Amino acid sequence: MIDTPRSNRLHLAIFGRRNVGKSSLINFITGQELAIVADVPGTTTDPVYKSIEILPLGPAVVIDTAGLDDTGELGEKRVAKAREVLRKTDIVLLVVDPREPVTAFERDVVQAARERGIGIVGVRNKADLWGWNLPLADDLRALNIPWVDVSCAMGRGLEDLKRAIIAAAPADWDPLGVVRGVVEAGQHLMLVVSIDASMPKGRLKLPEVQTLRDALEENVLCSVVRDTEFAEALERFPRPDLVVAHSLVIDYVARVLPEEIPLTTTSTLFARYKGDLVTFARGAVALDKLEPGDRVLIAEACTHCVMPTDIGRHKIPGWLEQYVGGAIEHDHVNGGQFPDASALRDYRLVIHCGGCMLNRREVMYRILACQEAGVPITNYGVMLSYLHGVAERVLRPFPEAHRALVAAGGHPRTIIELDGAALSV
């Protein structure tokens, strides 16, 4: 995997006066995460950029402005530095001590962010000391920004903070793109599609079109072949740097393709694009801890017939019971419904559809609710590739997700034979 370029990461700038707990907040955000922290050294007043992976938000940069906080106001030099930071910032986290009155510092930060159209989230830190969900002081309310309570010491409030970050993120926030970080400019992506009579004439599946478009936008050279021409294309075309196969034909493609050529599926790319692949890989492995009698929640985002209705209602429960070796209690939610964290605690696992009807933000909220409840969540595509025994191969192009899978064994104890309809999710 090619590391996500910094420009494509969500940039979070932490502003706050001295002693409000900026450093502990940064450690809190980065410390619990699958972090690849790469400190950029700076002088005392220079902001420090840390590249991290925030689950499930994806690649991010946390900007530590500790050097800019040593006075109640932004002096001229600090104003220039702050401007420089704000030019790169997607979201400002404004940290305050709720006992202290609002000063020109906070008002300046809010105004500067607002002028630039930058999202802003207020953080009342050390909530363990001052109390949770206290009424907002008048001067904080006057800033007219959303607030969350956090306790770094107690490790509480991170989900609320992430939710607020997602809500404040730019509307077109899309840190990954479908293929970003998996193939790069000048490389060759081979897309293997499956065409059957049931597909509307003149169309390709939307995820396939989106994969192509994103790859082309990244200056990738693409080839597109049906499974029937795959072997021939592999001989005649230059060696692909990545093969993306439709799940329906993954068995055949995996058999024909040399092991050393990276292979994944469109549904894996979209599990990453629409949600969080590491979380989903961990969730898939959680299947191995399921026992007969456990409760599982199956969530489908579409209320209409985009999905063959029997996948979620019948097939998946059937395969689960086959895998677990006994009856499973399965509940179902559809469309816009999704339980909150307290209701999710009743489940041992949440299995979500591909989410093609949801935007990334909505899927994030759902993953966060599961994290808050301490319930693993996976999605159809990742779970089925796990049950089908191909997850280890199709996750290889995504090192963190692959590591998460392999750490937990990486292979299902038995391989469940899936039928065609299931593989087309």
**Least separation in angstroms between CB 380 and a second copy:** 20
Shortest distance, position 355 Cβ to a second copy, whole Å: 14
Residue type (1 letter), 53 = E
**Nearest alpha-carbon partner for 275 in 383, 379, 357:** 379
Pairing of strands 242-245, 263-265: parallel
- Give the shortest CB-258-to-a second copy separation in angstroms: 19
Question: Least Å distance between CB 144 and a second copy?
Answer: 31
CB of 199: closest distance to a second copy in angstroms?
A: 8
In the bound state with a second copy, the residue whose beta carbon lies nearer, of 109 and 242, is 242
CB of 274 to a second copy, least distance (A): 12
Q: Where does this chain bind a second copy (CB under 8 A)?
A: 172, 174, 178, 186, 188, 193, 195, 201-204, 209-210, 212-214, 216-217, 219-226, 228-229, 232-233, 236-238
b/e for 64-83, b at 16 or more Cβ within 10 A? bbbebbeeeebeeebeebbe
Of 96, 105, 91, give the one whose Cα is nearest residue 140: 96
Pick 25 or 189: Cβ nearer a second copy: 189
Our CB check for a second copy shows the closer of 231 and 341 to be 231
Task: Identify which of residues 139 and 174 has a Cβ nearer to a second copy in the complex.
Answer: 174
Using alpha carbons, list the distances in angstroms from residue 256 to 84, 189, 226, 233, 261: 52, 16, 14, 11, 11
> Least distance from C-beta 277 to a second copy, angstroms?
19
| Dihedral (Cα; 273, 8, 187, 235), 10-degree rounding | -10
Nearer to a second copy, 62 or 222 (CB): 222
Is 136 or 224 the residue whose CB approaches a second copy more closely?
224
CA angle 205/206/207 to nearest 5° reads: 95
Count of CA atoms in the C-beta half-sphere (13 A) of 227 = 16
Quote the CA–CA distance of 247 and 267 in Å, as a whole number. 7
| Per-residue tokens: 403 | 């590591």
Is residue 301 a contact partner of residue 358, using CB atoms and an 8 Å limit? yes
The smaller minimum CB distance to a second copy, of residues 117 and 202, is found at: 202
50, β-bridge pairs = 62
